[in-house]
């Protein structure tokens, strides 16, 4: 059971470190309208437009924690301490 505690503490430590890194997300959405919607705005009077009742969208989102008041670094430090405590407990139980 102590080996599992050490593995869990290691996973928490890696998760805390990963929260400090930039994150890349892909978001997709789709909508269906009962009536056709103009896809592109008209640039001049009388212009034929492109219309559709099905709209699809895709986004790429990059997020980076700029300022968290030290929360992420404290969480990482705490998880590192828990990891070392679990490793010490495991080594003491083997003696």
Give residue-wise pLDDT tens across range 42-95: 888 888 888 888 888 999 999 998 887 888 888 888 888 888 887 777 666 766
Q: How many domains are contained in the chain? A: 2
Whether residue 76 sits in one domain with residue 95: yes
User: Domain of 27?
Assistant: 23-40+48-63
Whether residue 95 sits in one domain with residue 77: yes
Average pLDDT over residues 3-18: 81
Whether residue 91 sits in one domain with residue 76: yes
Whether residue 80 sits in one domain with residue 53: no
Whether residue 53 sits in one domain with residue 71: no
Whether residue 7 sits in one domain with residue 17: yes
Whether residue 27 sits in one domain with residue 15: no
| CA-wise closest residue to 55 among 43, 75, 70, 40 | 40
58: left (phi over 0), alpha (psi -120 to 50) or beta: beta
Q: 0.75 cut: is pTM over it? A: no
């Amino acid at each position: 059971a102590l080996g599992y505690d050490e593995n869990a503490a290691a996973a928490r430590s890696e998760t805390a470190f990963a929260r400090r890194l930039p994150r890349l997300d892909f978001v997709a959405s789709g909508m269906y309208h009962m009536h056709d919607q103009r896809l592109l705005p008209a640039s001049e009077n009388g212009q034929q437009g492109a219309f559709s009742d099905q709209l699809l969208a895709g986004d790429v989102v990059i997020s980076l924690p700029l300022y968290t008041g030290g929360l992420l670094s404290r969480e990482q430090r705490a998880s590192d301490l828990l990891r070392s405590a679990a490793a010490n407990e495991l080594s003491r139980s083997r003696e």
